[in-house]
Chain A
């Protein structure tokens, strides 16, 4: 078993899947010769040729819209949106077309495709290269929204997403690309979409999170352990569908829940998770549900002090968790 970075895990999964299924094509801005601005697709055009790894014109609605057509006509497109922030020109094609084609055709058409997009901040990307956009799409029936938090999960979730019969948004945290490393089996494996994973077991409180924040929550939990506070860290892995069962399980077990995400607080995934717990596990709670999220400002600013003030960090998670534990 090799130790791979989060980015390498994604690239090797793409390679492995493309080798086993000729219908898979990749395209997007700079994904071919350059291998993507983050090099996720590096070497793939060389191996699979220009017909399967396509440098497309710089037009997001066309990237997603043509992927819809290609999927209907027999391919398995894995288009890349260069930054999640650039997905908005394609939002009509995603929300009103891809997500709804199965429904509006009464099940006679469907759109198997995976839209990959790097998201998230902390890399001086400023307002248009830092956003977390998952909540917009998690609102939409017909879509699945996956946000892996480890290299191992990145592989199994991507393979599942490619195999899925419906459109999947696969958000990759760009700060995780090279900072997160872990053991990843060489052989192919699938992690079912919609299954959360308990990344750490504890007794006193639960941190429910996803994406880069999983590693941050684990760091916080490690520190809290030294103070005698033991923490359940539940990694949602997909924000649509949500794993209601495991969310309720951890909430009932510890009775104290801190939900963490980098995305804005209002209308974020935390609200939905919190509502589920309130509806189904209220009388197990020993404290109000707490949320730690990005602030309600339009997007992440560029200058270091502003960016730092926006970001959720392991320290901020630790402090809020401690507060909750003491409640």
Chain B
């Protein structure tokens, strides 16, 4: 075991979740192109940042407030591929929303994944609020808001960081900076180079980490979570990463990114890099990998079949859950 607490088994499990997320993601795009899924939002390229951070948390106990990019995150947090596919296809048993929200609007009460809307940065203040309750109730939980760099232009990003810092709340603001807010590059989003630089303005640490390295991400999130649990307040983490495919199935990134840039970025594919590293360390063998890939294939096939056969919501439920009681 290394100093950071990551055992070979945990590292292998991290790799598994990254590869699983990529496979689920790929399948969703196929379903979309076949006309079987109306829309897909991807986590392709972000797997290391998301899975590494999830493993640093007390999964199912700490709160996460994801955004639409976070497929790999919610998988690592305990959502099953079947549940993901139920959500993608808007089935009645979708635990995220029962078929009410469009895909990638995660939320799972039992797993402590807070439901989110589509307006970006709203979840940042929710995470601060969850942490406010943790501070008052002394429940030992940490909350994490996940967001893209584009959303840091929103007022609520600022409001959340400021509120959390003033009240020293046990919260982590985890930015997945892939350089683009759909088509708009980061340089048109902010006049500073790094999102993390903004932390100084709030009186909290700002940490930049290689978002393509799950172990490094794990380490910084672990440190931030420990800090939060000690009552020392929030941390802003910026995981530098890249999105390898368009923003969504309705986007065409050729309009705003040269192919050379994408090809260059793919040389640092987090899954390939982690695979090499684990093999070098003797944690992953060719046989284990082959076995794992077969398992993933089976799971993805099962999830797809399961969700496609699952019932759609009954129109009679349209008016359910507007109020608890009236």
Contacts and interface: CB of A to CB of B under 8 A. Distances in A.
Interface in B79-135: 94-101, 105, 107-109, 114-115, 117, 119, 122, 124-135
B159 interface: yes
Interface string A58-86: 01011001111111111101000000000
A65 B107 contact: no
Given A61-B159, A73-B130, A97-B117, A107 B321 contact: yes
B129 A65 contact: yes
Interface stretch (A98-106, A246-254, A288-296): A98-106
Contacts of A96: 117, 119, 122
Given A104-B101, A105-B107, A108-B109, A165 B136 contact: no
Contacts of A262: none
B253 interface: no
Interface stretch (A49-57, A169-177, A279-287): A49-57
Interface string A156-183: 0000000011100000000000000000
B244 interface: no
Interface in B306-326: 320-326
B326 A65 contact: no
Given A109-B115, A142-B323, A62 B128 contact: yes
Interface residues of A, number: 45
Interface stretch (B160-168, B175-183, B190-198): B160-168
B107 A109 contact: yes
Contacts of B131: 69
Interface stretch (B12-20, B137-145, B229-237): B137-145
Nearest to A107: B321
A54 B99 CA distance: 38
A241 interface: yes
A129 B131 CA distance: 32
Nearest to B115: A105
A73 B107 contact: no
Interface in A77-126: 77, 89, 92-93, 96-97, 100-110
B159 A62 contact: yes
B126 A142 contact: no
A25 interface: yes
A323 B115 CA distance: 53
A141 interface: yes
Given A65-B159, A75-B137, A109 B129 contact: no
B155 A107 contact: no
A104 B97 contact: yes
A35 interface: no
A73 B63 contact: yes
B156 interface: yes
Contact of B117 (A100, A102, A108): A100
Interface in B33-65: 63, 65
A71 B128 CA distance: 12
B122 A97 contact: yes
Nearest to A56: B163
A67 B98 CA distance: 25
B117 A62 contact: no
B136 A104 contact: no
Contacts of B137: 73-75
Which 5 pairs, one residue from A and one from B, show the smallest C-beta to C-beta distance?
A69-B129, A65-B125, A106-B98, A66-B129, A73-B133
27 contacts: A25-B136, A57-B163, A62-B128, A65-B159, A69-B125, A70-B130, A70-B133, A71-B129, A71-B133, A72-B129, A73-B63, A73-B134, A75-B132, A75-B137, A92-B119, A93-B122, A103-B100, A103-B321, A103-B322, A104-B107, A104-B115, A105-B97, A107-B98, A108-B107, A108-B108, A166-B324, A241-B326
Interface of B: 63, 65, 94-101, 105, 107-109, 114-115, 117, 119, 122, 124-137, 139, 141, 143, 155-156, 159-160, 162-163, 166-167, 320-326
